[in-house]
Amino acid sequence: MVRMPLAGRTKRQVLAEFRNAEILQAARRVFAARGFEGACVEDIAHVAGVAKGTVYLYYASKGALYRAALKRGLAEMCASIRRRVESAPSVRGKLRAFVETKLAHFEEHRDFFRIYSSAFSRSPGPLCCHRDLRAFQEEQLRILESALGSGGSVRGIRPQTAARAVFDVTRGLIERRLCGESREATEKEAAALLDLVWKGFARR
């Protein structure tokens, strides 16, 4: 979870951030279980252990709460991906870090995957978080582009094109696994995907 540093913060600010995190975690659980239309702020408040009015102190509407829960999860995932990719010593290692980190995040946070998938749908109204989704998607693509352009290992393929391909096949693998279409070990599937990608990208 992304947290602000404690230095320079008052006890009130720390408590407010903790309560906000609890509300967002509860929102993610309720939205995942009931969908946007089926969820209500009162249920989210109950799961978070706060009064309904407290939720409205933080978020003006159910839609605002949904978007905040989605953005928090995406921010945490992107921060984790960036840390691991940047610390990997080789292009292949960076690709492995991207695939494994993203896969592990959704495996660990299946409730987040459900609201993420819903937000990616074409549904109108409060679920239209496409601007937020695009921003985080573009951040992941930039991380991949930087990784693929760092070592001269990609043969005759623009880093932007290669990054999009890696992003798309990784998302496909995540969807198959979390929808129950694959029961292979996580590490085995990640390794197989990486091997397939690398054979296509690496210089001969």
Among the residue ranges 68-72, 167-171, 178-182, the one predicted with the least confidence is 178-182
CATH architecture of 11-201: Orthogonal Bundle (1.10)
Residue 154: phi and psi, rounded to 5, are -95, 125
If pLDDT is split at 50, 70 and 90, which confidence band does 143 have? very high
Among the residue ranges 3-17, 62-76, 91-105, 137-151, the one predicted with the least confidence is 3-17
If pLDDT is split at 50, 70 and 90, which confidence band does 51 have? very high
Asked whether the whole model's pTM tops 0.85, one would answer no
Tokens of 96: 């492995």
Render pLDDT for 34-43 as a digit per residue (tens, 0 to 9).
888 889 999 9
User: Residue 55 and residue 38: Cα distance in Å, rounded?
Assistant: 17
Contacts of 100 (CB under 8 A, 6+ apart): 84, 187, 190
Mean pLDDT confidence for 148-170: 78
Q: What is the pLDDT of residue 44?
A: 95
Tokens of 24: 């967002």
Name the nearest CA neighbour of 139 among 119, 167, 111, 120: 167
If pLDDT is split at 50, 70 and 90, which confidence band does 151 have? low
User: Residue 46 and residue 137: Cα distance in Å, rounded?
Assistant: 32
Q: What is the pLDDT of residue 195?
A: 85
Domain boundaries, the chain: 11-201
User: Residue 204 and residue 177: Cα distance in Å, rounded?
Assistant: 32
